[in-house]
Amino acid sequence: MAEELTPTPIHDDLPRRFADFATTGEALDYAARGQRGFNFHDARGKLIRAYPFRELREDALAAARRLIAHGIEPGDRIALIADTEPQFCALFFGAVYAGALPVPLPLPTSFGGKEGYVDQLAVQLNSSDPKLLIYPDEIAELCEAAAEACSVEGEGWDEFAMRDDPETELPQADTNDIAYLQYSSGSTRFPHGVMVSHKSLLHNLGSHADGMLIGQEDRCISWLPFYHDMGLVGCMLSMVANQVSTDYLKTADFARRPLAWLDLISRNPGTSCSYSPTFGYDICARRIGSQSDVAGRFDLSRWRLAGNGADMIRPDVMQAFTDAFSDAGFDPKCFVPSYGLAEATLAVTLMPAGEGLVVELVEEAELAGAPVAHNDQPPRYRAVVNCGKAVRDTRIEIRGEDGSILGDKQIGKVWVQSPAVMDGYFRDQEATDACLVDGWLDTGDMGYLSDEYLYIVGRAKDMIIINGKNHWPQDIEWAVEQLPGFKSGDIAAFSITSANGEEEPAVLVQCRTSDVNERSKLHGLIREKVRAITGMQCVVELVPPRTLPRTSSGKLSRAKARNLYLSGEIQPYDIAA
C-alpha cells in the first residue's frame, strides 16, 4: 500500500517575514530555510505532491543553470504555460534566478478550439518576444504550432528537465529590475505585457499581507490559475514571500468539481485564506442541493478570509453562498471584498478583516453615465459593494473628466499612486504614457470614495471582464469583422449590467440589409462567431447604418455608443425569434 503523503505544515520555527526582501529570488532563499511549501491536489482533493519551498528552490536553481547553459541572458523572456504544477513554479523562479523575465501564458480552454488557442498564444509570443517557450507535454502539439508560427524555440518541460545543469555563477538581481511580465488572460489581438519590478512586487506582497493580518495559523487554498494576476501574485508569489503553506486545485478540476475547494478548506488544520471571483462562490452555491447535509460534509468555521475580487462583486451571490453554507459554519464576516489590477501588481484596496460585505444603493442612471430619462418611471437602484481601504503606502483619487479631484460620493475615474504600480507596458510606450501620468495610474475604472472606502461601479476603459477574465472589445469587434460585408467601424462592443446584476458583453452591429429573414440569420451568425473566438455569449443588436457615434477624429466611440444604447437613443432592429 502506498505511503500517504503529508502536506507541508502551517507552523514553522522560521521567523515570519512579510515580503521585506530586495528581490523575488531572495524571498525564496529565505522561505526555503523553513518547512512550509506548496501542496498539489487532484480533482477529488487528494494530495498528490507536497512541495516544500526547500525543494522548490533546489529545482528553481537547477532550472536557472539549464537556462544559462542554453544561452539565456539577463533580460531575455521565457514564456511558460502556466499550468498548476510544480514544474511551472520551479521554471518561474528558475527564470528569475537566471535574470530572465518569466512570462506566464494561459492554458487552452474548452472554447475557441485548437486554432483559437494557437492564435492567442502566437499573439502573446509575438508581443513578449521570448527566447524560449516551455510547456506541459500534454499540449505539446498546440504549443509547438504557436512557437513555430512565431519562430520561437519550444520545449516540453519534462524534456527541459533532462538537460544538463552545470554549475555556473548566477547573475545578481537588482531590486529595480523587472521580475516578470504579466499578460491579461484575455489578451488576444491587442495584448499588453505589464512589467513588474522586484521592488513593486514585494511591496505589494507585503502590503496585502499586512492588510489581511496574515498570521502563524493561516494556510491558503486556491484554484485560481497561475496566468491570472490574482492566482500568480496573490496565491503563489505571496505565499513564498510571506512563507504560507498553500493547497492547490487545478482550475479545470475546480470547474468540474467545485465543492472539492470547500472540502480542502474543511480539512485545513489552521485558519483558511482563500480567494475567488464572484462566479466561484456562485458555482458552489448552485451546486449544493437544498437537501444536502452541508454540516455533515463541510466545516467552514475556520475560514478566516474569504476574498473576492477580479470582477464586479455581486452581493446577491454572496448572500446565496452564505445561505447555502451557514450550517457548515461559514461566517459572512469573513468576506474580504477587494480591488486590484495587474498594472498595480495586484492589490489596491482590501476590506479590513472582520468587516464583511457592505453595500450602498446607487441610482443606475448615475452608474451608467447615461442621460437621465425624463419620464414617469421610478428610478432603479443597484447595490454597489464596498471594496475596502487602500493598502499600505497607496493613495487613491477620484477624478472628473477635466482631471479635477472629486469629493466623497462623487463618481469619477479611479487613479492610484503606489510603489507597486507597474514600470509600464512591455515595448508599448504609447499605451504606457496613456495611463501613467506624473506617477499616477489611470486604472480605467469608475468609482467613488466614501470615508476612505472605495466603491467600484464600472469601467471607463473599454476592457470587458466576465467571470474574472479580461476581454478586449477589439477582439469581439474583430470577430464580427471576419464575416462578409463588415468592416472596421461597423461594430461597437462594450459591457452592460443584466437585470440580475451580472456583467455581460453587448455588441452593436451596423446592418445594411432590410430583409427581416436575412437579419435574423445574420444575428445568429454573429453570435456564433463571437462565441467561437472569445468563448462568450454576447447580447447582439443590429442597428441601422451610420448609427454608431464617432469622436472628433473619426474614431468609433464605444463609451458614447454604450450610453446612447442604455438611454434608448440607439434603437436596434427587431429580430424575429
What does 429-443 look like in DSSP terms, one character per residue?
HHHHHHHEETTEEEE
Residue 470: its pLDDT value, please? 60
Q: Please name the residue that has the C-alpha cell 544538463.
A: 164
At position 465, the amino acid (one-letter code) is I
What does 313-335 look like in DSSP terms, one character per residue?
--HHHHHHHHHHHGGGT--GGGE
- The residues, any chain, with a CB within 8 Å of residue 224's CB and separated by 6 or more, are 230, 231, 234, 235, 251, 275, 276
- Residues, the chain: 577
Contact of 292 with 260, CB cutoff 8 Å: no
Q: Rounded to an integer, what distance in angstroms lies between the CA atom of residue 547 and that of residue 567?
A: 14
* CATH classification code of 472-566: 3.30.300.30
Sign of the dihedral through C-alpha 293, 296, 299, 301: positive
CA distances from 269 to 212, 301, 429 (A): 19, 11, 48
Cα 238 to its chain centre, rounded Å, is 15
Residue 187: its pLDDT value, please? 47
358-418+427-459 domain in CATH 2.30.38.10?
yes
At position 524, the amino acid (one-letter code) is G
Q: Cα angle vertex 62, ends 60, 63, to 5°?
A: 65
The domains of the chain are located at 358-418+427-459, 472-566
Q: Cα angle vertex 20, ends 19, 24, to 5°?
A: 60
C-alpha cell at 372: 437621465
| pLDDT, one tens digit for every residue, the chain (577 residues) | 456 789 999 999 999 999 999 999 999 999 999 999 999 999 999 999 999 999 999 999 999 999 999 999 999 999 999 999 999 999 999 999 999 999 999 898 754 568 878 988 998 999 999 999 999 999 999 999 999 999 999 999 999 999 999 999 999 999 999 999 998 654 455 678 999 999 999 999 999 999 898 988 999 999 999 998 999 999 999 999 999 999 999 999 998 999 999 999 999 888 999 999 888 998 899 888 766 789 999 999 999 999 998 777 888 889 999 999 999 999 999 999 999 999 999 999 999 988 999 998 887 666 555 455 555 667 767 788 999 999 999 999 999 988 999 999 888 899 999 999 999 999 999 989 999 999 999 998 889 999 999 998 876 666 676 766 667 677 678 778 778 878 767 889 888 877 666 778 889 999 888 888 888 888 988 888 888 767 778 889 999 988 888 754 456 778 788 888 888 888 899 886 5
C-alpha cell at 534: 472569445
Q: Rounded to an integer, what distance in angstroms lies between the CA atom of residue 472 and that of residue 561?
A: 16
Contact of 52 with 8, CB cutoff 8 Å: yes
Q: Rounded to an integer, what distance in angstroms lies between the CA atom of residue 122 and that of residue 143?
A: 9
